[in-house]
Amino acid sequence: MKLACQVLDLKDQVKLRDGELNEQYARISKLVTALEDVKAKTQKFHNLKMDILEKNSNLKEKYDALLEHKRKMDKKFQEEEMNGSELLQNLMRQKEAAAENVNKKNATRIKVRNVILQQELVVVAETKVDIKVALDLSGFKPPFGDIQKQDWTEKKKARPFRSASLTSPRILDSIKELFEFKSKRRGSSVSSSVSSLSEDVFVPMRMCIVARIPARPLHVLEAHELGINAVKFRPDSKLLATGGTDRIIKLWNVTEGRLQGKGTLEGSNEGITSIEFDNSGTKLLAASYDHSAIYWSLDDNTPKCTLTGHSRKVTSAKFKSSHHHVVTGSVDRTVKIWDLQRTACIHTTDVNSSCSEVVCAEYFIISGHYDQKIRFWDSRAASCMKEISVLGRVTSLDLSLDHMHLLSCSRDDSLQIIDLRMNNIRKVLQADGFKCGSDSTKAIFSPDGDYAVAGSSDGALYIWNVTKEQLETCLLQQHSSSVNAVAWSVSGEHVVSVDRSKRAVLWSA
């Protein structure tokens, strides 16, 4: 009985174990299924990994190829850059050589001209001249218009004619004109070589014996739509040009004490800063705020060429002694020499300061700068020969007709007279009330060199006697704003002043 009970207990335990075993089998079956899923996902991710690795490998190959191509291109770029630099240097050397060749030719021409002139001077010195015939003034008329003979005589007595050196350009011009006059009377011509050389290098200008001091306004007008920066007389004193911030140059006939409009010159993209006629009066050169200088022919009032190359506004543009060359100064701290026939810059001089004005003679260029210095350059070598310091920023320069004196105006409210033979400041002109109105205020000599004139910030016009080194007169009440520029006719008869409020005033004695 006892064994039967044990057997029954054991059967019950076996059944219980079988139930637990079946549950374990079920769990194992589920785990096997989950394991298969994990294996499938693992294989999928493995395949994805292999794809990514393959793509990365392909991208790396492309990157390596591009990197190698970049290295080749960088090397090629460096080689091309070096070649370009060498080409530019070769071009600059060629231009410098061409400019040097032109300078040598000009120097040779000048030497030949001087030798011929000296030979002709010897001939003239040995020639007897009938003074009574040569100085017959019966048909002479004063260059001042309708003036009483008594006034003209008193004027001559008050201001006797000054002596001049035989080497003065004025005397050489007069002697040359005498040769030409004599040759015409004889029916023959002076050496053609002298004529051809002089035509390329120097053109004589009319002379003023005595300049008339302006005292009264003849004509006041609103000449431009905006402020006027520049004014200049043509060498024959019959035509006037004005340029302003309205981008145009206006031409005026000076007749019967009035300014009568003749036409306009257009072509500048910005305001005009300076104006210059050539000695023939048929060409006009202007500097502009648009980083350029423009060259017009007055035969048809059309621009012939535009000189571009400065990086900032051009403050001054002037003809050299040879009218095929032009000099420009700019705020970009450079002075450039241009060949008009090629419309190309043949030399650039870098300066340590912005340039406000340039003037030119046969062998040298003078520039005024914001660093209170006036620099003298050899135009053939474009090298700085000398510097003169003043007490303020230089606003303008003007060269006397005999090329012996230089007039400068500066922001310290003074004018300086520089003797070019000694290269030093000989005189300083100042006056109570005179204030330099801007960095571009222009001061000029009278055509006979006896006076200097400049406009003030209060609209007054100040005229100094250069010989006495004192103020001669002050003209008031015609300008209501700062006077920017002044022009004195070569005949000595008229003065024109312009201001920043677009007004122009024609003055006379």
Per-residue pLDDT of the chain (509 residues; tens, 9 = 90+): 778 888 888 888 888 888 888 889 999 999 999 999 999 999 999 999 999 999 999 999 999 999 999 999 999 999 998 898 888 888 888 878 877 887 788 788 788 888 888 888 888 777 765 544 444 444 444 433 343 334 434 433 444 333 333 334 444 454 444 444 433 333 333 333 333 333 343 344 445 567 889 999 999 999 999 999 999 999 989 999 999 999 999 999 999 889 999 999 998 999 999 999 998 888 999 999 999 999 999 988 888 899 999 999 999 999 987 668 999 999 999 999 999 988 899 989 999 999 999 999 877 899 999 999 999 988 776 678 889 999 999 999 999 988 889 999 999 999 999 998 888 898 999 999 999 989 999 999 999 889 999 999 999 999 999 999 999 999 998 998 999 999 999 988 999 999 999 999 999 97
pLDDT of residue 91: 82
Residues 232 and 192 in one domain: no
> Is the residue at 494 inside a domain?
yes
Question: Is the whole model's pTM more than 0.75, yes or no?
Answer: no
> Is the residue at 342 inside a domain?
yes
> Is residue 231 within 8 Å of 485, Cβ to Cβ?
yes
**Nearest-CA neighbor of 461 among 444, 439, 440?**
444
Residues 165 and 244 in one domain: no
Query: Residue 500 and residue 484: Cα distance in Å, rounded?
Result: 6
Which sign, positive or negative, has the C-alpha torsion 57, 61, 62, 64?
positive
> Is the residue at 60 inside a domain?
no
> Is the residue at 272 inside a domain?
yes
Q: DSSP string covering 241-289, please?
A: EEEETTS-EEEEEEETTEEEEEEEE---SS-EEEEEE-TTSSEEEEEET
- Residue matched to tokens 């400068």: 408
Query: Residue 254 and residue 249: Cα distance in Å, rounded?
Result: 16
Domain span including residue 372: 216-508
> Is the residue at 445 inside a domain?
yes
pLDDT of residue 444: 95
> Is the residue at 207 inside a domain?
no
Cα–Cα–Cα angle for 119, 124, 126, nearest 5°?
100
pLDDT of residue 68: 93
| DSSP secondary structure code for residue 145 in this structure | S
Query: Residue 107 and residue 243: Cα distance in Å, rounded?
Result: 35
Last residue of a domain, one of 175, 201, 227: 201
> Is residue 353 within 8 Å of 373, Cβ to Cβ?
yes
pLDDT of residue 5: 84
Residues 192 and 226 in one domain: no
56 SS3 class: helix
Residues 177 and 276 in one domain: no
Residues 288 and 186 in one domain: no
| DSSP secondary structure code for residue 60 in this structure | H
> Is the residue at 78 inside a domain?
no
pLDDT of residue 445: 94
- b/e per residue, 187-217, with b = 16+ CB within 10 A? eeebeeebeebbebbbbebebbebbbbbeeb
pLDDT of residue 380: 73
Residues 240 and 281 in one domain: yes
Tokens linked to 117: 């002139």
Query: Residue 395 and residue 442: Cα distance in Å, rounded?
Result: 7
Residues 185 and 292 in one domain: no
Residues 153 and 222 in one domain: no
> Is residue 99 within 8 Å of 348, Cβ to Cβ?
no
Last residue of a domain, one of 149, 178, 201: 201
Residues 196 and 252 in one domain: no
Tokens linked to 233: 């007389």
Cα–Cα–Cα angle for 472, 474, 480, nearest 5°?
160
Give the DSSP H or E segment for 78. helix 2-126
**Nearest-CA neighbor of 395 among 233, 273, 255?**
273
Last residue of a domain, one of 201, 236, 266: 201
Query: Residue 276 and residue 284: Cα distance in Å, rounded?
Result: 6
Tokens linked to 402: 């005999």
> Is the residue at 497 inside a domain?
yes
Residues 183 and 267 in one domain: no
Q: What's the domain count of the chain?
A: 2
Residues 156 and 226 in one domain: no
Residue 338 belongs to a domain with what CATH number?
Answer: 2.130.10.10
Residues 478 and 405 in one domain: yes
